Chain A
Amino acid sequence: MAKTSLDRKFDQIKKREEEKSFSIKKRSRIVSKFLNNRLAVVGLIIFTIIILASLFAPLLSPYDPMRVDLRSMRQAPSFDHWFGTDSTGRDVFTRVLFGGRVSIFIGLGSAILSAVVGIAVGCYAGYKGGWIDVIALRVSEIFMSFPQIILVLLLVSITGQSLFNLMAIFILTGWGGMYRLARARMLSLREEEYVQALRSFGLSTFTICYKHMLPNALSPIMVNITLSTAMFILTEAGLSFLGLGVPLNIPTWGNILNVAQDILILQNYWWMWGPVGIVISVFVLCVNFIGDGLRDSTDPSQQG
């Protein structure tokens, strides 16, 4: 029997559909929603580029970020030195790359670790309730009601300047927000009937709250991790600019910016502080875009 052209068309469509359903794995709704958000995708791309560039810094730059070269002091940007050189002749581009390693490590690391602490406490306390919850809540309130910058200054002057002290301080001041987020999610989740069902089997509190409930609380926490990464990077830059952050001999974005304290440099040598300032801003902006994209794509009330 001869096939009409309509039949052929239908066959084609059917074939295409079958190919699609077999060859392409169904992308999850969250991923596809995220990818539909232009800003978030651009943010993710630039974010990835900056991170990769920092990671592979030794391959991208022939210079040593610490080596003083007095013959090439305060040179303006050129083909040899893309971002110029600083007062001791170190290549600024190289320092920005290497500084990114430390700054991003501090920002992301502190955000993730404070999330781990906040989640560990918040899940358990939120699910269990009772005196554990009351104590955790009060402690977090104390940390959060104290002006963060003063707390940081205080702790820096007590513990001294070091990279790990700074991270410890960030975690100490940052876990409270994560804790409250995790706790609030747990409070609403624990009334869900699947949780009641698990309890009716007498499963242990740990299994119920960390294995079965936590995955359903993760998406707002992920958003918060990205946003606090941005915040910690900015705080680090601010503190290092003031000379209170990471010790000056370690290049971080904040420490590179530190030279702009000198009015002479601020006025005459823009390349020593301009590019790094832009990199910080762009990076933080990208992280915020990613956070917004994540929030929109995981928010069930924004369908579509």
Chain B
Amino acid sequence: MMKKEILKLRDVKVYFPVKAGVFNRTVGHVMAVDGVDLDIYRGEVLGLAGESGCGKTTLGKAILRLVEPTNGEVTYVSKEDDETELTSLEKKDMDPFRKKLQIVFQDPHSSLNPSFTIFGSLQDPLKKFGVNSKEERRKIIGDLLEAVNMRREYMDRYPHEFSGGQRQRIGIVRALCLDPELIVCDEAVSALDVSIQAQVLQLLMQLKKDNNLTYLFITHDLSVTEYLCDRIAVMYLGRIVELCDSEDLYKNTLHPYSEALISAIPVADLDKKTKRIVLEGDVPSPVNPPKGCPFHPRCPKAKDICKTEVPTLKKYSTNGNEHYASCHLIDLPEIS
């Protein structure tokens, strides 16, 4: 099968100004996302992993233009191969693309409006996109509720009547209601109980199959991603440091940061247990990232060159697959 892109990110940056002082002057920037190049292919599940604060959510929001990228291009490629650059569109011209790109949020408690019933808060988007009869709207929402294993009558209830897992499934209904193509799942299960996590993940995979969806699956937990994702991108301080097939990430890890993340996964199988690499120190502040390789203050392999020169994301090949990584110390031949 030919891989076709659905979304192409080129040098995407999101900087938040840091204001201080009496006059609210900008004294610096939080470089939440600092130059991300990424292709997302139609029909895949792309994992996006990294520690808290590395900019995963911000990148996901930048794709939907919930935050405006400071720089860079986000290009949507339709099924018919028409390309549209989204960041330069006027707000109102975004509408056709808002249908195709949706998001499921992390926190089931703030993701639903407490003052409205489920139907009440979901009907406005449908109205906006031309579903004018109330019966029609009720039918769409009811069908989707059934698709996520809930009863249609639940649409007339208020959010406080639901459990965390149910709320998360309602969040999925909301993301699905306009028949999207790509869904950003921002830690969609990490706030849930482990047993319920598995349920919701299974549901997500079922829905993906039924609706030909593409997922950008954001997580800070690399133990889920292996089974779920086709490819994984590892992020550190706003940049992608490694990107490859998920199998290769675990078997042929190239970047020391990914290695440390993987070694931190609890393993049930004692034979497989590798020595855990403990990262020292906290994630450096994204306001003032370290010079050279941003990872060097914590990297167990750091050499002198790492302190001065910024490594770029280069393409290698492992196991016959493309494998991107940004580290000075990789002794594989670079592929152009």
B114–A201 contact, CB under 8 A?
Answer: no
A202: chain B residues at CB < 8 Å are 91-92, 94-95, 98, 128
B124–A199 contact, CB under 8 A?
Answer: no
Residue among A196, A202, A211 having the largest count of chain B Cβ atoms under 10 Å: A202
A168-206 interface code vs B (CB 8 A; 1 in, 0 out) = 000000000000000000000000111011111111000
Say yes or no: is A215 at the interface (Cβ < 8 Å to chain B).
Answer: yes
Residue among A192, A194, A198, A216 having the largest count of chain B Cβ atoms under 10 Å: A194
Q: Within the complex, which residue of A197, A203, A211 is in contact with B103, where a contact is CB–CB below 8 Å?
A: A197
Bound complex: CA A196 to CA B67 (Å): 10
B174: chain A residues at CB < 8 Å are 197
B121–A212 contact, CB under 8 A?
Answer: yes
B111–A198 contact, CB under 8 A?
Answer: no
- Residues 87-125 (chain B) with a chain A CB within 8 angstroms: 91-92, 94-95, 98, 101-103, 105-107, 110-116, 121, 124-125
A200: chain B residues at CB < 8 Å are 64, 66, 98, 101-103
Q: Within the complex, which residue of B94, B103, B129 is in contact with A196, where a contact is CB–CB below 8 Å?
A: B103
- Residues 202-260 (chain A) with a chain B CB within 8 angstroms: 202-203, 207, 211-212, 215-216
B111–A194 contact, CB under 8 A?
Answer: yes
B128–A203 contact, CB under 8 A?
Answer: yes
Q: Within the complex, which residue of A193, A203, A207, A212 is in contact with B107, where a contact is CB–CB below 8 Å?
A: A193
Give B128 Cβ to nearest chain A Cβ, in Å. 6
A203–B61 contact, CB under 8 A?
Answer: no
Give B119 Cβ to nearest chain A Cβ, in Å. 14
Bound complex: CA A216 to CA B112 (Å): 12
Classify the interface of chain A: helix, strand, loop or mixed. Answer: helix
B91: chain A residues at CB < 8 Å are 202
Say yes or no: is B178 at the interface (Cβ < 8 Å to chain A).
Answer: yes
Bound complex: CA A202 to CA B125 (Å): 8
Closest to A213 in B: B113
Q: Within the complex, which residue of B102, B115, B171 is in contact with A216, where a contact is CB–CB below 8 Å?
A: B115
Give B159 Cβ to nearest chain A Cβ, in Å. 9
B61: chain A residues at CB < 8 Å are 196
Classify the interface of chain B: helix, strand, loop or mixed. Answer: mixed
The answer to whether residues A197 and B98 also contact, given A202-B128, A212-B116 and a CB cut-off of 8 A, is: no
Closest to B95 in A: A202
B101: chain A residues at CB < 8 Å are 200
Bound complex: CA A216 to CA B110 (Å): 12
A192–B110 contact, CB under 8 A?
Answer: yes
Bound complex: CA A119 to CA B102 (Å): 31
Bound complex: CA A131 to CA B117 (Å): 34
A215: chain B residues at CB < 8 Å are 115-116
Bound complex: CA A198 to CA B128 (Å): 11
A192: chain B residues at CB < 8 Å are 110
B110–A198 contact, CB under 8 A?
Answer: no
Bound complex: CA A200 to CA B101 (Å): 8
Give A193 Cβ to nearest chain B Cβ, in Å. 4
B178: chain A residues at CB < 8 Å are 201
A199–B66 contact, CB under 8 A?
Answer: yes
Bound complex: CA A207 to CA B125 (Å): 10
B110-150 interface code vs A (CB 8 A; 1 in, 0 out) = 11111110000100110011000000000000000000000
B128–A196 contact, CB under 8 A?
Answer: no
Bound complex: CA A193 to CA B105 (Å): 7
Closest to A29 in B: B160
Residue among B91, B94, B106, B125 having the largest count of chain A Cβ atoms under 10 Å: B125
A207–B124 contact, CB under 8 A?
Answer: yes
Residue among B91, B94, B111 having the largest count of chain A Cβ atoms under 10 Å: B111
- Residues 57-97 (chain B) with a chain A CB within 8 angstroms: 61, 64, 66, 91-92, 94-95
Closest to A196 in B: B66
B125: chain A residues at CB < 8 Å are 198, 201, 203
Query: A interface vs B, CB < 8 Å?
Result: 192-194, 196-203, 207, 211-212, 215-216
Known: A193-B107, A202-B94, A212-B121. 19 other contacts (CB 8 A): A193-B110, A193-B111, A194-B113, A194-B121, A196-B103, A196-B105, A198-B124, A201-B98, A201-B124, A201-B128, A201-B178, A203-B125, A207-B124, A212-B113, A212-B115, A212-B116, A212-B124, A216-B113, A216-B115
Pick 6 A–B contacts, CB within 8 A, sort by A.
A194-B121, A196-B66, A196-B103, A200-B102, A203-B128, A207-B124
Query: B interface vs A, CB < 8 Å?
Result: 61, 64, 66, 91-92, 94-95, 98, 101-103, 105-107, 110-116, 121, 124-125, 128-129, 171, 174, 178
